[in-house]
A and B are shown apart, each in its own frame.
Chain A
Amino acid sequence: MQNQNVDMKIVLLGSSYVGKTCLVDRFINDRFDSSTQQTVGAAFLTKIINTNDNKLVLGIWDTAGQERFESMSKMYYRKANAAIICYDVTDYDSFKKLQYWVDEVRENEKNCVIYFCGTKIDLLEDESDRTVPMEEIEKYADKMQITLFETSSKLNKNVNNLFLKISHNFIKKKNQKLNSKKMGNKNSTINIKNGKNQPNDEKGICC
């Protein structure tokens, strides 16, 4: 298990108490611990998933959300393939912080694909409980071309889906790159076309 090389590096970011550790715990161990304590430093976890006929080893960084670590978070999202930026759907402040993280990651890691994850949707008895308006976050996600997920670690809603989608997109992107490289080797003139096509294809995936 431990000797596996990590194929894809995913980092979880977001302010304190949004539920990053719970999200990872649900995905890796399929459990929910309501007494989870604040993370100190960062934990590194691995999980092997099977997509189609590919085996993919995910290396997931569960980081601490406190301000103390903000300046040091760079070392966690360095060379990450994907970043899941979490916010609490019942906490507007955590949504504000979202924008800070987007800028931070976009600036430092251009190749990192960003995903938004609204957590704790089990706390929403009806839509009025939302302190982060759906429109606002959707608008922002559209503007930034970022895919938005909403999850509940407690009820195991959408958690697996989130990680599977991320790894699926990663494989797709990787294959595209491989293809474009092959194409590029075959005929250099098509190269320009491919270059034009690529961003269009990726819009769906975002970034």
Chain B
Amino acid sequence: MTTLNEQQINENKDSENTSSLGINKDQIQEEKKENENEKQEEEKQEKKKEIEKENINNREIEKENEEQEKGNHENEKEEQEEEKQEEEKKEEKQEEQEKEEEEKEKEKEEEEKEEEEKEKEEEEEEDLSSVQVGEEDLKKKAENFNQQISQFRGRRYQKHEEEGIHDEKWRNHKKHYLVLTQAGKPIYTRYGSDSKLSSFICVPQALVAFVIDLGDEIKCLKADKHNIVFDIRGPIILVCVSKLDESTEQIKKQLKYLHSQIIFFLSIRGTEMLNDRPHLDLRSYLGGTTKFFDSLIHRMNSYDFITDSIKYLKLKPSIREKVASALRETKFKFLRFAILLTDSGIIHLTQTKKKPISTHDLFLLQNFSQDPAFRPNEIWSPLCLPDYNSKAFVHAYLNYIDKKQKICLLLISLDPTGFMDLKTQSEKVVKTLTQDGTLDKISHTLEKTESLSVKSLKIKKLRHFIYKNRENNQCFTMKPALPYTLKSERKRLYTLYKTTRSGLLLDSKIQNKQYSSTSEKEVLIATITDDYELYTVFHPLISKNEAIEGEVQVLNWIKKNEESLFSHNIQFW
């Protein structure tokens, strides 16, 4: 109860802050009045849902869940979908118009800039004009080249490989990432092939170069709905064009991770090659790693990324202790980190006391280790952990010890010739874990917890929550309830979390904060204290007291299960 009082006090204290961040109580009341009209309709829906809930109780696996929901909702969904489609069409049209306008604006900007540049340097003018004249020829050449590459070098396995800047599809993507060198050579593009985007890639390069000439650095550009964020790191330019409702800070964080992904494969020395040879094509060094960039971007929509924390899997403390002792027994002079993990989280981590691993590096490692191509074999690969040491390579041994549940043992060592030593260590770990049945227990628990939904907490009107333990930077979350089982709704939820969190963390002076926001679609309550961050999302028609009560219930549940949710003593050798 003390927590509740504190929260209420904090609430009063922070009322000024919250009002700036969110909606006042008055506003909420007003909204509620407005909502009352809608209530009647929604109550009908609720009744339906309640009937469904009885059915749902039996369903554990999400897939089944969704399928059956589809069955129940079919009519509703079709209607909704039709509406959505219509809306989307409208939006698309609007977007098209906007884009055209933007392009015109951009073109104008460029023209203006070019003119200015012309005045400045005559030589450049010649170059630019020749580029414009030869653009079509270049495109043809580029296409031919692309075909040749795909013939000789195999295909790049990307869904959006064939898209170019003139394709509707390419324009409609909500978020573009672009990584290029200061010399204008592409390093990574999320959508479309490099050659088809070659003319487009010059634009951010020119913008960056132009502002540098002015003795300044471009940070972001806002064009209507679009937020274009630049991040210039040495010889590398990272650009994100986002249509989503994200702040510049959030996008900068994402670009930082993309840059780290380059360092991860090449080390900072690799990127420094560009200083000496600016026209170097980094892609030849990064060959085959595009999929890791793609999956990293995909992972940016995860709760651990949003809360800057590590997700540990829910396990009985006794099992975790057994894993810990097995990992602690691995002995090799140059071994630095031993991690047992799955796609959805970390089971255990053992490390040296001298230099613990950062959340950032661990995130990159997790992204790296989950590539399906690694599953069948043992892997030995050099890689660079940017926070640990961005100048040198470490060597990773990867072995999927349980292929069905994708449990993977990752050993990081400093010795490039240590593969055989680590292989024997890994065999030892596998032996101890299989002998006493720990591995079976883990995979069994994983099977169970994978489908663990927020519903299992049986807290009224609770739809989702994230809890972050600030002490050890670990977070815990569960599968969301309806409607966030739908992808589009889930994406909205991610954005909601992101904006809420970045807003709350802006002012670091106030330690305890509580914030609530109400919208037509959900009620969110966020609490940040020294020890934890908790974000809870409820049904939109919940009263504030009920919501706070719900939050306290979540908190109590976490306190009760704390031992199995978090790995409190990170093990050291």
- Given A3-B427, A16-B153, A17-B153, check contact A42 B288 (CB 8 Å): no
| Contact status B287-A16, CB under 8 Å | yes
Q: Is B317 part of the binding interface, using a Cβ–Cβ cutoff of 8 Å?
A: no
* Sample of 17 more A-B contacts, CB < 8 Å, known A43-B379, A45-B377: A16-B288, A37-B157, A37-B291, A38-B288, A39-B288, A40-B371, A40-B373, A43-B377, A43-B378, A45-B378, A62-B377, A66-B284, A66-B287, A66-B288, A68-B266, A68-B285, A76-B380
Complex interface: chain A residues within 8 A of B427 (CB) = 2-3
Return chain B residues, CB-CB under 8 Å to A38: 154, 287-288
Chain A residues whose C-beta falls within 8 Å of the C-beta of B376 in the assembled complex: 43
| Cα separation A202 to B292 with both chains bound (whole Å) | 46
Interface size on A, residues (CB 8 A): 25
Are B417's CB and A67's CB within 8 A?
A: no
Cβ of A35 under 8 Å from chain B: yes
From 329 to 380 in chain B, residues with beta carbon under 8 angstroms from any chain A beta carbon are: 371, 373-374, 376-380
Distance A66 CA – B288 CA, assembled complex (angstroms): 8
Which residues of chain B are within 8 angstroms of A3 by Cβ–Cβ distance?
427
The yes or no answer to A41 lying at the interface (CB within 8 A) is yes
Instruction: Specify the chain B residue showing the minimal Cβ separation from A62.
Output: B377
Interface string of B276-313 (1 = CB under 8 A from A): 00000000111111011000000000000000000000
Closest partner residue, chain A, to B381 (CB atom): A41
A44 touches which of B157, B265, B377 (Cβ 8 Å) = B377
The answer on a CB contact under 8 Å between B416 and A67 is no
Q: How far is the CB of A44 from chain B (nearest CB, A)?
A: 5
Q: What's the nearest-Cβ distance from chain B to residue A202, in Å?
A: 28
Tell me the smallest distance from the CB of B112 to a CB of chain A, in Å. Answer: 41
Which residues of chain B in 474-496 are interfacial with respect to chain A, using CB atoms and an 8 Å cutoff? Answer: none
Which of the residues A17, A62, A66, A68 comes within 8 Å of B154, measured between beta carbons?
A17
In the complex, 7 of the A-B residue pairs with CB atoms within 8 angstroms, ordered by the A residue number, are: A38-B287, A40-B292, A41-B382, A42-B381, A43-B378, A44-B378, A78-B417
- Show the binding face of A for B, using Cβ within 8 Å: 2-3, 16-17, 35, 37-45, 62, 64, 66-69, 72, 75-76, 78, 91
> Which residues of chain B from 192 to 219 have any CB-CB distance to chain A below 8 Å in the complex?
none
A40 touches B157 (CB 8 A): no
B454 at interface (Cβ–Cβ under 8 A)? no
Once bound together, how far apart are the Cα atoms of A39 and B289, in whole Å?
A: 9
Measured between alpha carbons, how far is A44 from B419 in the docked complex, in Å? 9
B408 at the interface (CB under 8 A from A): no
- For the complex formed, measure the closest distance between the CB of B137 and the CB atoms of chain A, giving whole angstroms: 25
Choose among A35, A38, A39, A67 the residue with the greatest number of B CB atoms under 10 Å from its CB: A38
**A42 touching B266, Cβ below 8 Å:** no
Report if B396 contacts A (CB, 8 A).
yes
CB-based contact B288/A67 at 8 Å:
no
Instruction: Answer whether A67 and B157 are a contact pair too, CB < 8 Å, given A40-B381, A41-B379.
Output: no
A91 touching B152, Cβ below 8 Å: yes
Question: Closest residue of chain B to A88, judged by CB?
Answer: B152
Chain B binding surface SS class:
mixed
B285 to chain A: which residues have CB within 8 Å? 66-68
Contacts of B373 in A (CB 8 A): 37, 39-40
Is B430 part of the binding interface, using a Cβ–Cβ cutoff of 8 Å?
A: yes
Residues on B with C-beta less than 8 A from A40 are: 288-289, 292, 371, 373, 381
Using a Cβ cutoff of 8 Å, how many contacts connect chains A and B? 75
CB-CB under 8 A from A76, the residues of chain B are 380
Instruction: Please give, as numbers and ranges, the residues of chain A lying within 8 Å of B154 by CB-CB distance.
Output: 16-17, 38
A42 touching B380 in the complex, CB below 8 Å, given contacts A67-B287, A68-B287: yes
- In the complex, how many angstroms separate the beta carbon of A73 from the nearest chain B beta carbon? 10
Question: What's the least CB distance linking A41 to chain B, in Å?
Answer: 2
B115 to chain A, nearest CB (A): 41
- Which chain A residue lies CB-closest to B382? A72
CA gap between A45 and B378 in the complex, in Å: 7
- Most interface-central of B266, B270, B287, B417 (chain A CB within 10 A): B287
Are B284 and A67 in contact (CB-based, < 8 A)? yes
Report yes or no: B379 in contact with A42, Cβ–Cβ below 8 A: yes
Contacting residues, chain B, for A64 (C-beta < 8 A):
288
Q: Are B379 and A75 in contact (CB under 8 A)?
A: no
Cα(A43)–Cα(B423), bound, Å: 12
Q: How far is the CA of A45 from the CA of B377 in the complex (A)?
A: 6
Q: Compute how far the CA of A2 lies from the CA of B377 in the bound complex, rounded to whole angstroms.
A: 11
Q: How far is the CB of A188 from chain B (nearest CB, A)?
A: 36
Q: What residue in chain B is nearest A25 (Cβ atoms)?
A: B376
Interface residues of B in 400-431 (CB under 8 A from A): 416-417, 419, 423, 427, 430
Chain A residue contacts of B292, Cβ below 8 A: 40
Interface centre among A17, A41, A64, A91 (most CB of B within 10 A): A41
Contact check: which of B289, B374, B378, B416 meets A75 at CB < 8 Å? B416
What's the Cα separation between A40 and B264 when bound, in Å?
Answer: 12
Docked complex Cα distance between A156 and B154 (Å):
20
A78 to B419, CA, bound (A): 11
Nearest residue, chain A, Cβ from B397: A44
What are the 10 closest A-B residue pairs judged by CB atoms, nearest first?
A: A41-B381, A38-B288, A43-B377, A66-B287, A75-B416, A68-B285, A44-B378, A17-B154, A17-B153, A72-B382
A44 touches B287 (CB 8 A): no
> Who on chain A is nearest to B290 by CB?
A38
A45 to B270, CA, bound (A): 29
CA A72 to CA B396, docked complex, whole Å: 13
Closest to B368 in A: A40
- Tell me the complex Cα distance, A153–B44, Å: 62
Whether A41 and B396, one on each chain, are in contact in the complex, defined by CB atoms closer than 8 angstroms, is yes
B420 to chain A, nearest CB (A): 8
A48 to B326, CA, bound (A): 29
Cα–Cα, bound, A67→B153 (Å)? 14
B418 to A, closest residue via Cβ: A75
Minimum CB–CB distance from A46 to chain B (whole Å) comes to: 9
The answer on a CB contact under 8 Å between B157 and A72 is no
- For A2, list chain B residues within 8 Å (CB): 427, 430
Please, which residues of chain B bring their CB within 8 A of the CB of A69?
382
- CB atoms of A35 and B430 under 8 A apart: no
Expressed in whole angstroms, the Cα–Cα distance for A41 and B412 within the complex equals 14
Q: Are A44 and B380 in contact (CB under 8 A)?
A: yes
